[in-house]
Structure 1
């Protein structure tokens, strides 16, 4: 099993993906809950403003409240990483590769053949890289999930490379 995957084809920069380091990436998502959550895109500035307003109101009413301890939060986060099932959005990797003019599709070469998707759908893919805190060895190093979760029970496995055409 090859542990790295390449993004090649009609791109300005060929990218090499190493899923073994994604556990430390802040963009990772919890695959146990990702497809069940409401996927509405929210205005980030509006959400930020609302959260700051809420925090400010609470401080005025109750006074400043400090977090319990950072030690317990670190312990919980470490446990979550050791036992979690995670994926990472594919969009940033495609955008970093900078598809060239005329690039319209993504070809995913995997153990059972190849799957071709329009590039706008490929931007929504999620790459699963960990199951129950362990690297994917069966059909790994990544599993490919469609953004809408339609293949959640049977993701594309044994990914060899991504080719932008």
Structure 2
């Protein structure tokens, strides 16, 4: 139970967060490059439509050909998961908890302090869950990074609970 983080307070649903399973989540981001690159706000439907159109065009021109590098790509992805430093956006968890309309802030409760953030800033948080392929057992179970990366060298550690107020 020490690796579980609760998201509770003025929410419709209390959410139980388990960082141990996030390695399998497609929403994970590589923290070694996430804050260095420019993050663009993308329209997911537009991106999907463009990728499908590109794939369709390729199949019409070339036929359905499977790339010969598929096996090496899978091997590379597996290696990356085993050695990478990853995080996951906090926004989907906050959205699923459905904060009350009167809620104004998020309190990050750690072993030693409570940090208050407006909900708008809380949506931009990134939760780090893996460093060099290993779970964050010592100072974890998760690190909290601000969306702008201003604390990427000194993340919030030893998080116990997220409380919506």
TM-score, normalised by the number of residues in structure 2: 0.91
CA distance, structure 2, for counterparts of residue 10 and residue 57 of structure 1? 49
Could you tell me which residue of structure 2 aligns to residue 148 of structure 1? 148
CA distance, structure 1, for counterparts of residue 145 and residue 45 of structure 2? 29
| Structure 1 position 130 matched with structure 2 position 146 | no
Q: Gaps spanning 5+ residues in structure 1: where? A: none
CA distance, structure 1, for counterparts of residue 47 and residue 161 of structure 2? 37
Could you tell me which residue of structure 1 aligns to residue 27 of structure 2? 27
Deviation, structure 1 residue 15: 1.1
| Structure 1 position 83 matched with structure 2 position 83 | yes
| Structure 1 position 94 matched with structure 2 position 94 | yes
Could you tell me which residue of structure 1 aligns to residue 120 of structure 2? 120
CA distance, structure 2, for counterparts of residue 64 and residue 2 of structure 1? 49
C-alpha offsets along residues 33-67 of structure 1, whole Å, 9 cap, x if unaligned? 11122212122333333333434444455554321
CA distance, structure 1, for counterparts of residue 160 and residue 60 of structure 2? 56
Could you tell me which residue of structure 2 aligns to residue 37 of structure 1? 37
Q: Which moved more, 1:80-89 or 1:37-46?
A: 37-46
- Give aligned pairs, total: 165
CA distance, structure 2, for counterparts of residue 94 and residue 34 of structure 1? 20
| Structure 1 position 18 matched with structure 2 position 18 | yes
SS at 1:127's partner residue?
strand
Cα 1:75–1:124 shift into 2, 3 Å: same
CA distance, structure 1, for counterparts of residue 57 and residue 73 of structure 2? 25
C-alpha offsets along residues 105-140 of structure 1, whole Å, 9 cap, x if unaligned? 000011331100001110110000000000012310
Q: Which moved more, 1:6-15 or 1:126-135?
A: 6-15
CA distance, structure 1, for counterparts of residue 55 and residue 72 of structure 2? 22
Q: Gaps spanning 5+ residues in structure 2: where? A: none
